[in-house]
Amino acid sequence: MAETEGRVRRTRAARAPVVSEATREKALVVHARLCAEYGCPIAYFHDLDPLSELVSSLLSHRTRNADSGRAFRQLRKRFGDWVAVRDAPTADVEDAIAPVTWPEQKAPRIQAVLRDITERRGTLDAHALDFLGELPVPEARAWLEAIPGVGPKTSAAVLSFSRLRMPALPVDSHHHRVAVRLGLIPASVDVGPAHAILAAQLPPEWDAQTVYDNHEALMLHGQQCCFWQNPACGRCPVLDLCPYGQARLGDAAPREG
């Protein structure tokens, strides 16, 4: 039987973390400078329904965008709809998503997620998860995270990247690395728990595009400047705010070009 809208099986939504005024201000300055650097507003890269975005997000873990995109298209072309994917022999699904990392794990996980949603919503059509758009973000995230195998990054991606366009903040490994080096979160905080802390640093009235821009700008900074090895601190627009960069270069280091 479909689950009543707004009621969740269990709730992981925790009380919002306490954020100091200094951290809040720093997060805003970082956002403004990185947005200037990377050109906000940044265009959305998907316009999928939320169920399709969920499958796409599950495929994308630890996989290059080009490969997960190819796997997603192959899945759609071979099976046509999500009911057929759910009911197919798992080996066939695994074969269709071969371009991603760990297809042998992702195929049964995707089928289990589709079975779970069928049980809770009574449908797997393109509108099966549209009701999430009527919920506050914390409730919509909690509904998604009640599905085994769906964590904070996936729930935020579904709400933000799909056509729901909700103000939920995803955090990937690039975004996380930049936030740690800038001192917005302690190094001991992993990617999962970082979601709630970083989201609480942003103004609650920000719209979906601005929250999306925040994620994209920090992610792009991680990809194009704040590299895992040898970050380019000398040309970084937030060097003066970054304890990690200052420790590497010294307080008097001039900004390059």
Q: Which sign, positive or negative, has the C-alpha torsion 239, 41, 23, 172?
A: negative
Least CB distance to ligand SF4 at residue 136 (A): 32
Q: Are 56 and 106 contacting, i.e. CB atoms less than 8 angstroms apart?
A: no
Least CB distance to ligand SF4 at residue 238 (A): 5
Q: How many residues bind ligand SF4 (CB under 6 A)?
A: 14
Name the nearest CA neighbour of 178 among 136, 225, 135, 144.
225
Position 198 contacts ligand SF4 (CB under 6 A): no
Of the ranges 8-16, 77-85, 164-172, 224-232, which one interacts with ligand SF4 (CB under 6 A)? 224-232
Q: Which residue is nearest to ligand SF4 (CB)?
A: 245
Q: Crossing angle for the helix pair 152-161 and 208-224, nearest 10 degrees?
A: 120
In the complex with ligand SF4, which residue's Cβ is closer, 138 or 237? 237
Position 34 contacts ligand SF4 (CB under 6 A): no
Position 218 contacts ligand SF4 (CB under 6 A): no
The number of residues in the chain equals 257
What single DSSP character describes residue 42?
P
Instruction: Select the residue interacting with ligand SF4 from 181, 184, 198, 213 (CB under 6 A).
Output: 181
User: What share of residues in the chain are helix, strand, coil (percent, to 5)?
Assistant: 60, 0, 40
Binding site for ligand SF4 (CB under 6 A): 178, 181-182, 225-226, 231-233, 236, 238-239, 242, 244-245
